[in-house]
Amino acid sequence: MKDLEMKTSEEIVFRESVYNAVTLNALALYDLIDFDAWLTTVIPVELSFTGPQYVHQSDTANFSCNIIRRRMALLISEWVGTKCSESSRPKVYETLLNLLTPLDARNDVVVRMSAATALRYAVDEWHFKSDVFLPYLDAFLVGTPAEHDKGGIIGLMAFVGHIEARMKLIQVVEVIVERMDRRVVPDCRLRLIVDHALCWVDNEFVAVFVGTESGAEDI
C-alpha cells in the first residue's frame, strides 16, 4: 500500500510539472498545442480526476486532485490570452466556474483563488466580448442561489484571511465591473456594495464599483 501511495504522489508531481512547463512556455508551444481542443479534451479529463488521498511525510492528508485542478486554472490563465478562439470563450468561463464553486469539495481555497486569477486574465484581454461573458456575470461575481452566498468572487472573500489575497480578489472584481460597466445589474451592484462595506468599511472602495464618490445615484 505504501508503494502504491508513493507511486500515486510521484505521478501527480510529474503531471503537475508537465502542465507547469506547458503553462510557462505558451508562446514557444503556440504552434504545437491546440488550446481550443484542450478545453474539450485534456482539461475536462484532468478535472474529472478525483485521485486517491495520500499522505506527505508531515502526515498531513491532502487530495491529489487539488494540485491538478489548481494547475488547470493556472494553465488557462496563461493560454486564454495567448491562443483561444472566440468560440471557445464560453467553455473557458464554464471551466472556471467549475473551479470556483464551493459546491465541489475538490475546490479548496487555493483552487478557487487560482480560478479567480485565471478569470482576471480571461476578462482583461484584447479579445474579450462582454456579450459572451454576460450569461456568466452574476455567477462569477456573487455566485448562484445553490451556493448560498458562498459562491462567486464575493463569497470566496469570506474564506480568505490574508489582506493580500483579498486585494487580489478585489482587483478581479474591479476588472470585471470595468469591462462590463452598466451590464452589472442594480441588484448585483447592491450586493457588491453591501458585502464589501461589511468587509472593508471603506467608502472609496464602494466608489470603485458604482463609479461615483457617493455611489447612491448609481445603485
Query: Does the pLDDT value for residue 209 go beyond 50?
Result: no
Query: Does the pLDDT value for residue 56 go beyond 80?
Result: no
Instruction: Give mean pLDDT, residues 58-62.
Output: 42
Instruction: Give mean pLDDT, residues 23-36.
Output: 96
Q: Could you tell me what percent of the chain has a pLDDT over 70?
A: 74
Q: Rounded CA gap, 141 and 111, in Å?
A: 17
Q: What are the backbone angles phi and psi of residue 54, rounded to the nearest 5°?
A: -130, 165
Query: Does the pLDDT value for residue 59 go beyond 80?
Result: no
Query: For 4-26, how does the pLDDT look when each residue is reduced to its tens digit (9 = 90+)?
Result: 343 467 888 889 999 999 999 99
- H/E segment holding residue 63: strand 61-63
Query: Does the pLDDT value for residue 83 go beyond 90?
Result: yes
Instruction: Give mean pLDDT, residues 99-104.
Output: 95
Q: Rounded CA gap, 206 and 120, in Å?
A: 20
The residue ranking higher by pLDDT, 115 or 210, is 115
**Cα first-last separation, the chain:** 59
Q: How confident is the model at residue 1 (pLDDT cuts 50, 70, 90)?
A: very low
The C-alpha R_g of the chain, in whole angstroms, comes to 19
Domains in the chain: boundaries: 2-184
Instruction: Give mean pLDDT, residues 63-87.
Output: 92
The pairing of beta strand 61-63 with beta strand 53-55: antiparallel
Query: What is the model's pLDDT at position 196?
Result: 56
Q: How confident is the model at residue 187 (pLDDT cuts 50, 70, 90)?
A: low
Q: Could you tell me what percent of the chain has a pLDDT over 90?
A: 50
